[in-house]
Structure 1
Amino acid sequence: MTEARDGHHAGPQWESLVRTGALITVALVMLWLAFNVRLPSISTLQEWILDLGWAGGLAFIGLYAVVAMTPIPVTIMAVAGGLLFGAGNGSILSVIGALLGSWAAYWLARMLGRDTVMKILGSHASKVQHHLQDAGFQAVCVLRLMPGFPYWPVNYGSGAFGVSQRDFLAASALATIPGQVSLVAIGAFVANATVANGVVIGVAWAVVIAMTIWAYREWRKARKQADDPS
């Protein structure tokens, strides 16, 4: 009986130690990245990517995915995508990179657990919990489209608060595409100030605004139904 009780307590203790170690490791890595890593200038990125030739697109996707997993803003990557590859190809590569990084962060959060992720989210924790608790597709859309709200808390919060993988990926794809296109188009316009690129910027931002209003209304409706099922 004593061995059984000892064994019963050993499991949770080891699990707690592993989670604590993971928290410390992830937190330190993210803090180091946030304060010490600076993305190269857009001109430097342009030279680096173009020097890689055909592999430049894959390198851009990989770098974007890593950035999407960290507190480093993704805006510079999206704008760089427009400068490097134009509005069309840049949008495709940026969306793929953003979604891959978001998906990886989602599963990392699932493995770390809610308590650990709450500590990692820091000041973003309360807002993410408010939107994602007992919610799904609409909530992810709202946070993805919210102006100035970074990607990484949505990724980690979705994994921690039980948003299904299907809802997370579907909402991320739907909400990420117009936002990324709007940012990529800015880069494309800087590189080549044509009417077509200007139109893409205007249309993309109009879609972002319309989708933000729609997603917020749908999220409010879902929350009311959850609070008052009758």
Structure 2
Amino acid sequence: MAEDQTTTPGDDERQRWLSVARNVTLGVVVLGLVWVVFNVELPSGRQLQEQIEALGWIGWIAFVLLYAVVATTPIPVTIMAVTAGLLFNLVSGTVLSVAGVMLGCWIAYWVARGLGKQTMRKLLGRHGPTVESHLQESGFYAVATLRLMPGLPYWPVNYGAGAFGVKHTPYLLASVISCIPGQFSLVAIGAFIAEPSIFTALAVAVGWAGVGVLTALAYQRWKRDRRTSPNP
């Protein structure tokens, strides 16, 4: 026997209040992001270097935390990754950049899980349809493809994965694996600017070649999975 699916006035009232709460939260989040974009100026490379040197090893933690904040907003993470190359060596800069961007990705994922699908559709704006079409009922390869896709910022993928049902573990694994070559290539650019050499130029070339190859492989695997998955 089918269960009674009728709703009570109390259920309707709770749904209305939940909708109001989500819309208010959306408004606060959007206003906060807009304020950050137009009012927060990231320190220059020279200023960051001076501040980090003054802090010692705590400066590394400060850089990771700042990077995490940037990764949760529409501010391009490119700025921070290139700055890491200017401030640190290639290896240390890549490690710190990956740590910072992954912390931001993790925070944004759980924020989106809390806000819900309908709210995040509004927040994602023009990026929403692209992110949802790739991530709906998808997992590892969809996240990896979007992470590597040129021109698509990190933040829509972060929030979209949380909102559109991507499981936590595949999301984190895909994010860390796919962000390493991208972060490495951007850090290499900063390292090349700071100290031009054949080694840093080669690192830039290798990094971007890796991004291209992984993008093609992830996209092909994601398309194959979409074709072979049973229709709902």
Distance 2:206 2:160 in 1: 30
Gaps of 5+ in 1: none
The residue type paired with residue 76 of structure 1 is I
User: Equivalent residue for 2:3?
Assistant: none
* Structure-2 separation of matches of 1:186 and 1:52: 25
2-structure distance, mates of 1:11, 1:159: 23
Q: How does 1:171-186 map to 2 (within 5 A)?
A: 171-186=174-189
Residue 20 of structure 1 corresponds to which residue in structure 2? Answer: 23
1:227 to partner: Cα distance: 5.7
Q: Percent identity?
A: 52
Which TM-score applies when normalising by structure 1? Answer: 0.93
* CA deviation profile, 1:77-125 (whole Å, cap 9, x unmatched): 0011111111010000000000000010000000000000000000101
Residue of structure 1 equivalent to 2:128: 125
The CA distance in 1 between the partners of 2:8 and 2:226, in whole Å, is 43
RMSD: 1.6
Partner of 2:74: 71
**Match for residue 161 of structure 1 among 160, 164, 167:** 164
The answer to whether the 8 A contact 1:64-1:101 is kept is: yes
Q: Is the 8 A contact 1:42 1:76 kept in 2?
A: no
Q: Which amino acid aligns with 1:122?
A: G
Paired amino acid for 1:142: T
Give the one of 191, 196, 199 matched to 1:193: 196
How far residue 7 of structure 1 moved from its aligned partner, in angstroms, is 3.3
Displacement of 1:44 in angstroms is 2.0
CA distance in 1, matches of 2:162, 2:118: 12
Contact kept, 8 Å, 1:131 with 1:139, in 2: the verdict is yes
1:150 aligns with 2:125: no
Count of aligned pairs = 226
Q: Which residue of 1 aligns with 2:96?
A: 93
- Normalising to structure 2: TM-score of the pair? 0.93
**In 2: Cα distance, 1:191 partner to 1:226 partner:** 48
Give yes or no for the alignment of 1:170 onto 2:173. yes
> Offset at 1:158?
0.3
Partner of 1:81: 84
Contact 1:117/1:160, CA 8 A, preserved across alignment: yes
Structure 2 residues not aligned, in runs of 5+: 1-6
Determine the C-alpha separation between the residues in 2 that align with 1:58 and 1:19: 33
